[in-house]
Amino acid sequence: MDTYDYVIVGGGTAGCVLANRLTASGKHRVLLVEAGGEPRSPWIPIPAGFSKLLTNRRYNWLFKTEAEENTKGRVISVPRGKGLGGSTLINGMIYVRGQAQDYDAWRDAGAKGWGSQDVEPYFRKLECYPQGGDTRGKKGPMHLEQVKERFPIADAFMQAAVQDGQRLNDDYNAPDQEGFGYYQVNQRGGRRWSAYDAYLKPARQRPNLTIVTDAHVLRVDLDGRRCVGITYRRDGQEVSVRAHTEVILAAGAIQTPQLLELSGIGQPTLLQTLGIAVRHALPGVGENYIDHFATRMNWRVKNTVTLNEMARGWRLVAAVSQYMARRTGILTLGTGLVHGFVKTRAELPTPDAQYFFVHASYANAAERILDRAPGMTIGVTQLRPESIGSIHAKSADPLQGPSIRPNFLSSEVDQQCIVRSMQLARRIVGQPAMAQFIEREMSPGPQAVTDADWLAFARESGQTIYHPLGTCRMGEDDGAVVDSRLRLRGLSGLRVVDASVMPKMVSGNIQGAVMMVAEKGADLIIEDRQG
């Protein structure tokens, strides 16, 4: 049986960071095990290629929620990246640190050493954003660029925001997040820059790193109260490997709790119901699931050419030629063009809602099929939802996906915030700067008048924007799954380092926070080994 110092489960965002940092000294033998394969699709480096990958089974787990009453009995897609690089292969590339208050809330909830001053150096460490100010990292492995393409309707939208009393903000990742401007994305020279590009690819030549792909981990292996390795299935064969120091779970907020439960770690009653022997009772596993719920407001527009028309016919041919020649044009665009971080109530200390403006509209959002007529969309999300759900194994079969119950819009605070956010978006679009472009509001449309109308629209049409976290949260209380050093409570030799450890939502897209957690997690692992 092969033995390594560290065994990392999951080659996604966090796994790539960990594999790089834990092998850098050359002192430790590291095995990285990934259920997916190599990131070979030609769509991956093309930013606009995300629309092709979001429905691709090779690169997306294609998870779905259970039908829930709060969202009108709908089953909602929950994409998760599959393959080396994970969700950074298929996401919209938007980079957001969040607010300092987010991490202070982590600290106050029992995650000692994870306050804003503790995590800020790790954001700097990972960032390569030379045009940023003194608070930004300039030499890290994760290349960041501000969206370069400019369009009259996007500039008009920002002008309308100013007319509404909002302000512009060229760097929402500086200490003050509030305002409107162009998004920052993980790209380099007009190409997607994934966690694989930034972290794993440079580490692959190191002799102390072994990577196994197309290997589905079945369980972590325990010897009493110690985790001693893992067992995975590859090419129909079961393979067990040993971890001399630690097994590190980096399978993400959906699959990490499922893997723990398949290994007999979790809520005893649930495990017994599934016919899984209880190896370690830990009631918080799979609880505290939080995600960003978003609505898409659409307008039919005029007097401009939008992505709806640019992405077909001769215009698309021209765009492909432009991208191939200069790495510019519409193929460099992801899911957001202009950002807005806004307060829906004046008395709030920081923004509580986020906007994603793009001059495009979908005929079928789930399949990323664009309208044929000109359109624009504002995605609207509440930054810090209070609705809490769960993710649990629903079978002892490791190849069956877990039961995902997000419980969206169960909190009255969330309901009020999403309604106010959409109303504010309509108000901004109604400002004079947008008048020359707006033909009519398509959704929710003029029939949405009362708060009840708006809330009904959110329940009937809202989707996740793919930011699941919290299902193995860190803390010191009995409901926590890992401690503040990310060690599984009650067991030795096992850590969790991914989005599942985050105790509370961060204010914005979470890939930056996941990389920060992995950077800091790697330091904690190395410190504990040396200590």
Residue 229 Ramachandran class (φ > 0 left, ψ -120 to 50 alpha, else beta): left
Q: What are phi and psi of 313, to 5 degrees?
A: 65, -150
Provide the residue count of the chain: 531
Give, in order, the Cα–Cα distances in Å from 364 to each of 217, 367, 370, 371, 528: 35, 6, 7, 8, 50
Q: Which residues are part of the catalytic machinery?
A: 467
The answer to whether 470 and 438 have CB atoms below 8 angstroms apart is no
Give, in order, the Cα–Cα distances in Å from 24 to each of 6, 417, 518: 13, 45, 14
The answer to whether 3 and 183 have CB atoms below 8 angstroms apart is no
- ∠ CA 316-320-324, rounded to 5°: 170
Strands 293-301 and 375-382, bridge-based pairing: antiparallel
Q: How far apart are CA 263 and CA 223, in angstroms?
A: 12
Q: What are phi and psi of 368, to 5 degrees?
A: 55, 40
The answer to whether 509 and 464 have CB atoms below 8 angstroms apart is no
DSSP 417-469: HHHHHHHHHHHHHTSGGGTTTEEEEEES-TT--SHHHHHHHHHHH-EE-S--B
Strands 209-212 and 30-33, bridge-based pairing: parallel
Q: How far apart are CA 153 and CA 308, in angstroms?
A: 14
Q: Spell out the residues 6+ positions from residue 106 whose beta carbon is closer than 8 angstroms to its own.
A: 114, 115, 474, 502, 503, 504
Q: Does residue 444 have a cis peptide bond before it, meaning omega lies within 30 degrees of 0? A: yes
Q: How far apart are CA 222 and CA 239, in angstroms?
A: 15
Residue 320, burial from CB neighbour count under 10 angstroms (0-12, 13-18, 19+): middle
In single-letter form, the type of residue at position 353 comes to: A
Q: Spell out the residues 6+ positions from residue 245 whose beta carbon is closer than 8 angstroms to its own.
A: 5, 6, 28, 493, 529
Closest CA to 98 of 518, 417, 509, 500: 509
Q: Spell out the residues 6+ positions from residue 325 whose beta carbon is closer than 8 angstroms to its own.
A: none
The answer to whether 106 and 115 have CB atoms below 8 angstroms apart is yes
